[in-house]
Structure 1
Amino acid sequence: MRRSLQTALLLAPAAFILAGSATALAQNKAMPDKSMSHKTISDKALMAKLQKAAPPNVFKGATILNMAPDGSMKVVRKGDNGWTCMDPSGTDPMCADQGGMEWGQAYMSHGAAPQKLGFIYMLRGDNGASNTDPFATGPTKDNNWVKTGAHVMIVGAEAKGMAANYPRSPKADPTMPYVMWAGTPYEHLMLPIR
């Protein structure tokens, strides 16, 4: 998972959360990280950007969240298919199902990963994250920063069993499937898409 998802989750997309996740996010139920600047774009520009974050049929029925200057999230469009799309970092648009949102909430609050599987699309790629420290805020010489192009993420405690046969190296090859944050409660499977 990427710094952007971390940002998204820390800002309320807690997102990426509880049953009624989009509503909770829009009501800013999570504590925003006051140290981060919040990039805002128009709802129209966001919609154009998010259209390529997930397959068209996912985006078409998804709830769309946009970030306000104060870091709170607002519902731009209420969806009906169980997916939520957003780009709180301004660089990493994503769409998550309910399991992905619950996993994000657990990650954001440093809580236990939910048992069920979650799925997150990031078909426009990401801006990078440490592959060893889920809460790193930038690259260092020893935190194995990795940028992954278009990919999907399979998250949640059940994903650990699924990820057992994939590379778990801190120095991931982002062109091949790999386990991100291996050995942490938030480890998940990264599946690049070419």
Structure 2
Amino acid sequence: MTCPKLYATAGAFILLASSALGQTTEETAESLMDRLDGVAPPAVLQNSTLLSPTESGEMQVLREGTNGWTCMYPGTNPMCADGGAMSFLQSWMKNEDPPDTLGFVYMLLGDEGASNTDPYAEGETADNNWVVTGPHVMLLGSGAQPLLESYPTDVPKDAGQPWVMWPGTPYAHLMLPTH
């Protein structure tokens, strides 16, 4: 989640990394499906809404889905999120209180890194606990909150163990490595 920016399209939240801005290649649903291969189980990806950044940084719907999932490759952090996760992440980007929801995100291709403590960090600093995560899923929202007390808030040395990201903020969520 490097330098995140938010764009709302069709009522959905989109996390757009700054590296996606200025893309000049016209994305198609087929080419995006190829790039997203492996980000989530095939049944999730196959029937999801597909979103892609335009040259101006806006998000465009390449395909309307039928299964309630939204998949995208904004910058360097490919993901598929259910409706609850999209609502939660939209509130995070607007710095609003999260909705009373439970959401699930697949990021089975990993990410390029984010602060483990500052939800709005745009890059690594000496004190923001930057972490690059391999394949993982996330549980977000109020429905996940009871689980958070059972897990550490520091990234475990064993990268395969769950932990709480953004602890002490309204956007705390459970990170679950899958490798």
Match of 2:44 among 58, 62, 79: 58
Aligned residue for 1:119, secondary structure, equals strand
Which of the residues 143, 151, 176 maps onto 2:136? 151
Does residue 6 of structure 2 align to residue 11 of structure 1? yes
Residue 101 of structure 1: SS of its match in structure 2? helix
- Output the TM-score relative to the length of structure 1: 0.82
Query: By how many angstroms is 1:45 displaced?
Result: 3.0
Seen in structure 2, the aligned counterparts of structure 1 residues 188 and 143 have a Cα distance that, compared at 3 Å, is same
Unaligned runs of 5+ in 2: none
Q: Is residue 80 of structure 1 aligned with residue 66 of structure 2?
A: yes
Residue from 89, 97, 101 that aligns with 1:112: 97
Q: Distance in 2 between matches of 1:88 and 1:107?
A: 17
1:63-103 per-position Cα deviation (integer Å, ceiling 9, x unaligned):
000100111111111100000001112x1110000000000
Residue 175 of structure 1 and its aligned partner are, at CA, apart by 2.8
TM-score, scaled relative to structure 2:
0.88
Q: Which amino acid aligns with 2:143?
A: E
RMSD (Å) for aligned C-alpha atoms: 2.2
More strand by share: 2
Between the aligned partners of 2:99 and 2:34, the Cα distance in structure 1 is 31
Q: Which has the higher contact order (CA 8 A, sep 6+)?
A: 1
Q: 1:33-74: per-residue Cα shift (whole Å, max 9, x none)?
A: 9x7761535224322111211100000110000100111111
38, 44, 49: which is aligned to 2:21? 38
The reply on whether 1:134 has 2:119 as its aligned counterpart is yes
Aligned to 2:11: 24
Counterpart of 1:126, as a letter, is D
Q: Please tell me the residue identity of whatever aligns with 1:80.
A: T
- Write the distance in 2 (CA, Å) between the matches of 1:61 and 1:48: 14
Equivalent residues, number: 174
Equivalent position of 1:70 in the other structure: 56
Aligned partners of 2:160, 2:21: CA distance in 1, in Å? Answer: 30
Q: 1:98 to 1:37 in 2, by over 3 A?
A: closer
CA contact (8 A) 2:117 2:167 kept: yes
**Whole-Å Cα distance in 2 between the matches of residues 181 and 106 of structure 1?**
14
User: By how many angstroms is 1:115 displaced?
Assistant: 1.3
Q: Take 2:39 and 2:19, find their aligned partners in 1: how far apart are those partners?
A: 23
Residue type at the aligned position of 2:60: K
Q: Which runs of 5+ in 1 are unaligned?
A: 15-21
Structure 2 residue identity aligned to 1:119: F
Contact 1:180 1:189 in 2 (8 A): yes
| Aligned pair partner of 2:88 in 95, 98, 103 | 103
